């Protein structure tokens, strides 16, 4: 066993975590690619896409359903659901890339970058064939919650406008579509770029440069002055127009016509709407949902089987009273499972070299006694089935993985962070930090605190007073660092639902703090009681029974007052004597029915 002490953690990984980064910071944001950095992120997302489990099933079912319904009156819309962080955004973003076969500057495309099973590749080839028979293939994707106001028509339309490289302002976008219909949109754009005024393309009602370019390229404006041209634009495309379903459908039709490869034919269009449930929840409830439902039904009926709508939400439609109304339209359901998060982590960040699996397993086998004792008595405790995943999840122990999941769920009150995103980032950062440690060194449970501290503060989950108290414990010494980690861990444990039975006792704290499994935890377990006593005496933490808690501001005031009264009482000999004389006679009274003079 000792020979493996010279082997570093980084040696077991398929990709050394110290030699690469996660370009998207673990965050998948659905939307248009606008620069080189976003292309780099897209490449990473495609190359790291794990097309297994429900990701594979979902992608296959979506593509198969679309192709099967091309001759039907309308396409079934798709609802992708799953818990926070199950990878919904990643799945639909990859679908968007694969649908349009996103091209990269080096000539590679989405479909040859992603590692896809044969059945998915076959469906994409069939999609291409159908695209050639129609007006090509095109897609638009975005986060619906980014829409303006409560009008779902505007929110959806803006996603499509951004994807088509058109202005988001509806009145300005209408002018651009009108110019595209006349075949002069690109000419005007190049003219304004050439004159150093590209931004004037979005200022048609006030820009002289725009009016002059319009006069030059549009035959109906050749005899107008710039002011007359602007007046005509105001009359025809004024900002006081009202958004209606008809106007939205007309603009969508113009956008699709602009993107068609064959005049007069509608391309096969995918529209991805991410975070729909959040959008509807934040909005006006049932009223907004009815408006959204009406819009989806109208545009699906208008563009028939050539348009596919894919939306995402945390809950299955049938599981939410509000969302149940969408079941008729979103008849194809894709549900992502929690086990898929594990698959992604194990196939990407935690993937191991084949040659290092044997020494890793030997190391883990030698410390099964230490691992099997962890979190005993709680629902997060070591389980008999954990052994199957020890090497796969290393250097993250299954018990700590479960702990992280509960912490992330507890602090994700607004649903703005995701489990997959956070697990990818935290696991990667942990693997990198402990990459140069000897084999057998694992990521401690409190590592998640430093990774989530900013979010905890921003979401008002971590009070400033507690954050300061935790930071203050770290004075640079080994003891101070450990006491700061203890305080952080106590805060996290308090966030885990009590029903999981995780009690902040010295034993449980040691289970979560230990890093070097080979060296063992005995020294830490001997040291912890004294450190906890010191922190308790200084009012940093409180003790309730055999458990410890990080002090809140109110608790700290109460504890301080209690300790002061206790100290004063002990120092007052006369008070002690008085109280003893008061209590002893009462305590010495015979019990009822007692025989004080038993027979000799």
**Which tens digits make up the pLDDT trace of 422-457?**
677 888 999 999 999 999 999 999 999 988 888 888
Q: Which residue has the higher pLDDT, 256 or 339?
A: 256
pTM of the shown model = 0.73
Let me know whether 236 and 373 are in one domain.
no
Let me know whether 418 and 545 are in one domain.
yes
What pLDDT does residue 83 have? 64
Q: Is residue 20 part of a domain?
A: no
Let me know whether 82 and 171 are in one domain.
no
Q: Which of 133, 414, 112, 152 is nearest to 309 (CA)?
A: 152
* Interatomic CA distance for residues 375 and 550, integer angstroms: 19
Roughly what angle, to the nearest 10 degrees, separates helices 478-495 and 522-537?
80
Let me know whether 294 and 427 are in one domain.
no
Q: Which of 542, 535, 496 is nearest to 400 (CA)?
A: 496
User: If you average pLDDT over every residue of the chain, what do you get?
Assistant: 87
* pLDDT average, residue stretch 176-191: 93
* pLDDT average, residue stretch 409-424: 59
Q: Which helix (H) or strand (E) holds 97?
A: helix 88-100
Which residues, other chains included, contact 5 with Cβ-Cβ below 8 Å and sequence gap of 6+?
A: 438, 439, 440, 518
Q: Is residue 35 part of a domain?
A: no
Roughly what angle, to the nearest 10 degrees, separates helices 419-433 and 447-458?
140
Let me know whether 222 and 308 are in one domain.
no
| pLDDT tens digits, 69-88 | 998 999 999 999 876 666 78
Edge-to-edge strand list for the sheet holding 268-274? 137-143, 268-274, 307-313, 78-81, 332-335
* Interatomic CA distance for residues 139 and 110, integer angstroms: 13
Cα 555 from chain centroid? 34
Cα 285 from chain centroid? 24
Which residues, other chains included, contact 520 with Cβ-Cβ below 8 Å and sequence gap of 6+?
A: 367, 370
Roughly what angle, to the nearest 10 degrees, separates helices 339-347 and 53-68?
110
* Interatomic CA distance for residues 216 and 406, integer angstroms: 64
Beta strand pairing status for 137-143 and 78-81? unpaired
Phi, psi of 516 (to 5 degrees): -90, 95
Q: With helix as H, strand as E and coil as C, how does 472-527 read?
A: HHCCCCHHHHHHHHHHHHHHHHHHCCHHHCCCCCHHHHHHHHCCECCCCCHHHHHH
CA distances from 472 to 122, 195, 214, 223 (A): 59, 59, 65, 75
Domain that holds residue 341: 49-151+246-347
Q: Which of 374, 380, 394 is nearest to 508 (CA)?
A: 374
What pLDDT does residue 1 have? 43
Confidence class of residue 50 from pLDDT cuts 50, 70 and 90? Answer: confident
Q: Is residue 312 part of a domain?
A: yes
Q: Which domain-ending residue is among 182, 214, 242? A: 242
C-alpha gyration radius of the chain: 32
Let me know whether 402 and 288 are in one domain.
no
Q: Is residue 37 part of a domain?
A: no
Q: Is residue 160 part of a domain?
A: no
* Interatomic CA distance for residues 448 and 443, integer angstroms: 9
Q: Which of 183, 170, 180 is nearest to 238 (CA)?
A: 170
Phi, psi of 558 (to 5 degrees): -65, -45
What pLDDT does residue 33 have? 80
CB atoms within 10 A of CB 66: 25
* pLDDT average, residue stretch 94-118: 95
Q: Is 259 helix (H, G, I), strand (E, B) or coil?
A: helix
* pLDDT average, residue stretch 117-139: 96
Q: Given a cut of 90, is residue 275 above it in pLDDT?
A: no
* Interatomic CA distance for residues 423 and 515, integer angstroms: 19
What pLDDT does residue 2 have? 46
Let me know whether 221 and 269 are in one domain.
no
Beta carbons of 177 and 251 less than 8 angstroms apart: yes
Q: Which domain-ending residue is among 320, 347, 374? A: 347
Question: What are the respective helix, strand and coil percentages of the chain, to the nearest 5?
Answer: 60, 10, 35
Q: Which domain-ending residue is among 221, 242, 263? A: 242
Q: Is 439 helix (H, G, I), strand (E, B) or coil?
A: coil
Beta carbons of 463 and 419 less than 8 angstroms apart: no
Let me know whether 540 and 399 are in one domain.
yes
| pLDDT tens digits, 372-393 | 999 999 999 999 899 999 999 9
Q: Which residue has the higher pLDDT, 239 or 370?
A: 370
CA distances from 162 to 146, 307, 596 (A): 12, 18, 96
Let me know whether 512 and 385 are in one domain.
yes
* Interatomic CA distance for residues 100 and 135, integer angstroms: 13
Beta strand pairing status for 78-81 and 307-313? parallel
260: left (phi over 0), alpha (psi -120 to 50) or beta: beta
What pLDDT does residue 586 have? 67
Beta carbons of 470 and 425 less than 8 angstroms apart: no
Q: Is residue 3 part of a domain?
A: no
Q: Is 553 helix (H, G, I), strand (E, B) or coil?
A: helix
Q: Is residue 342 part of a domain?
A: yes
Which residues, other chains included, contact 200 with Cβ-Cβ below 8 Å and sequence gap of 6+?
A: 192, 207, 209, 210
Q: Which of 498, 496, 494, 450 is nearest to 470 (CA)?
A: 450
Q: Given a cut of 70, is residue 595 above it in pLDDT?
A: no
CATH of the domain at 86: 3.40.50.300
Q: Is residue 226 part of a domain?
A: yes
* Interatomic CA distance for residues 508 and 502, integer angstroms: 8
Q: Which residue has the higher pLDDT, 577 or 502?
A: 502
Beta strand pairing status for 268-274 and 137-143? parallel
| pLDDT tens digits, 145-182 | 644 456 889 999 999 999 999 998 999 999 999 999 99
Q: Which of 134, 137, 130 is nearest to 95 (CA)?
A: 137
What pLDDT does residue 266 have? 93
State how many domains the chain has: 3
Q: Which of 330, 314, 336, 174 is nearest to 254 (CA)?
A: 174
Let me know whether 499 and 391 are in one domain.
yes
Let me know whether 284 and 367 are in one domain.
no
Q: Which helix (H) or strand (E) holds 162?
A: helix 152-163
Q: Is 268 helix (H, G, I), strand (E, B) or coil?
A: strand
Q: Which of 480, 503, 366, 429 is nearest to 512 (CA)?
A: 503
Peptide bond into 385 cis (omega under 30): no
Confidence class of residue 523 from pLDDT cuts 50, 70 and 90? Answer: very high
Let me know whether 377 and 519 are in one domain.
yes
């Amino acid at each position: 066993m000792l020979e493996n002490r010279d082997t570093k953690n980084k040696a077991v990984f398929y990709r050394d975590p110290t030699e690469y980064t996660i370009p998207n910071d673990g965050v998948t944001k659905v939307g248009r690619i606008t620069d080189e950095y976003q292309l780099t992120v897209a490449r990473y997302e495609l190359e790291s896409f794990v097309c297994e489990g429900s990701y594979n099933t979902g992608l296959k079912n979506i593509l198969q359903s679309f192709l099967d319904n091309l001759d039907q009156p309308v396409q079934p819309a798709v609802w992708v659901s799953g818990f926070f962080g199950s990878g919904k955004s990643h799945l639909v973003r990859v679908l968007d890339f694969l649908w349009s076969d996103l091209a990269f500057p080096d000539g590679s495309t989405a479909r040859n970058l992603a590692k896809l099973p044969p059945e998915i590749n076959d469906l994409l080839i069939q999609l291409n064939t159908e695209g050639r028979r129609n007006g090509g293939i095109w897609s638009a994707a975005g986060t619906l919650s980014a829409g303006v106001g409560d009008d779902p028509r505007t929110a959806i339309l803006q996603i499509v406008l951004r994807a088509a490289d058109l202005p988001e302002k509806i009145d300005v976008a209408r002018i651009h579509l009108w110019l595209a219909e006349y075949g002069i949109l690109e000419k005007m754009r190049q003219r304004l770029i050439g004159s150093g005024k590209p931004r004037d393309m979005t200022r048609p009602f006030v820009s002289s440069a725009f009016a002059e370019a319009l006069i030059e390229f549009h035959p109906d404006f050749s005899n107008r002055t710039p002011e007359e041209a602007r007046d005509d634009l105001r009359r025809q495309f004024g900002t006081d127009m009202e958004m209606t379903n008809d106007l939205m459908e007309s603009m969508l039709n113009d956008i699709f016509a602009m993107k068609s490869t064959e005049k007069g034919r509608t391309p096969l269009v995918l529209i991805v709407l991410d975070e729909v449930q959040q959008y509807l929840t934040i909005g006006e409830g049932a009223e907004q949902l009815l408006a959204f439902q009406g819009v989806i039904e109208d545009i699906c009926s208008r563009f028939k089987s050539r348009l596919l709508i894919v939306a995402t939400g945390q809950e299955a439609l049938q599981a939410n009273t509000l969302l149940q109304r969408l079941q008729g339209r979103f008849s194809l359901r894709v549900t992502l499972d929690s086990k898929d998060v594990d698959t992604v982590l194990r196939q990407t960040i935690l993937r191991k070299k084949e040659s290092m699996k044997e020494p890793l397993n030997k190391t883990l086998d030698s410390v099964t006694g230490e691992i099997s004792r962890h979190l005993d008595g709680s629902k997060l405790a070591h389980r008999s089935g954990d052994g199957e995943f020890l090497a796969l999840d290393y250097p993250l122990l299954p018990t700590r993985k479960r702990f992280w999941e509960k912490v992330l769920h507890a602090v994700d009150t607004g649903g703005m962070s995701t489990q997959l995103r956070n697990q990818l980032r935290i696991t990667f950062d942990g693997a990198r930090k402990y990459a140069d440690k000897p084999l057998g060194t694992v990521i401690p449970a409190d590592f998640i605190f430093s990774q989530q501290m900013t979010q905890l503060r921003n979401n008002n989950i971590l009070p400033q007073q507690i954050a300061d108290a935790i930071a203050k414990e770290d004075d640079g010494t080994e003891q101070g660092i450990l006491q700061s980690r203890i305080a952080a861990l106590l805060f996290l444990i308090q966030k885990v639902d009590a029903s999981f039975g995780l009690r902040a006792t010295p034993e449980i704290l040691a289970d979560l703090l230990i890093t070097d499994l080979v060296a063992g935890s005995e020294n830490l377990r001997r040291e912890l009681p004294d450190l906890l006593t010191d922190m308790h005496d200084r009012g940093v933490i409180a003790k309730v029974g055999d458990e410890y808690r990080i002090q809140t501001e109110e608790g700290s005031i109460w504890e301080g007052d209690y300790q002061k009264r206790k100290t004063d009482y002990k120092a007052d000999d006369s008070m002690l004597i008085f109280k003893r004389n008061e209590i002893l006679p009462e305590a010495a009274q015979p019990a009822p029915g007692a025989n004080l003079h038993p027979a000799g």
